[in-house]
Amino acid sequence: MSDTVVHAEPYGSMLYSPEVPCFIISWHGFANSEQFRFLMNRGLELYEAEAARTQPLGWLADTRNVQAVKPADQEWMRTDWNIRAHRAGIRHVSFVVPETVFGQISVQSYTHNVAETNDYEIETSQHRTLQEAKDWLRAAIG
């Protein structure tokens, strides 16, 4: 079964993977703050709609091509998006590791922020390939 693109922008896409099942946010390069937040929010809307029909349902971030995520956007994730994501049912986030150092720093910052908060509990995991990220997520949400 292949992943289906459910929303596409030049800087990133949302895909649905029925085999896990999960939504995959796939970054294609740099996204400014408005673009980053738009795609994260659009992905969460899609997740919430599908979660009404499909349980369990996971979230996977394919960050192989992500660039730096600005500190203000990291803070927005920590104090806004993650809280809404947790409320929607996201308990595990599986990452495909970025290829750039700036992307790696962004993912490490996200992982650190999630681990340090008491406002919600989201388990994260980092993987070298998309298939490894899917396998971990399938087991985690199962």
Whether residue 125 contacts residue 136, with contact meaning beta carbons closer than 8 Å, is answered with: yes
Write the pLDDT tens digit of every residue in 48-98: 999 999 999 999 999 999 988 899 999 999 999 999 999 999 999 999 998
Using DSSP's 3-state secondary structure scheme, residue 133 falls into: helix
Whether residue 31 contacts residue 43, with contact meaning beta carbons closer than 8 Å, is answered with: no
- The model's pTM: 0.93
- Supply the DSSP symbol for 128: S
- Supply the DSSP symbol for 98: P
CA-closest candidate to residue 90, choices 98, 99, 82, 79: 82
Centroid of chain to Cα 55: 17
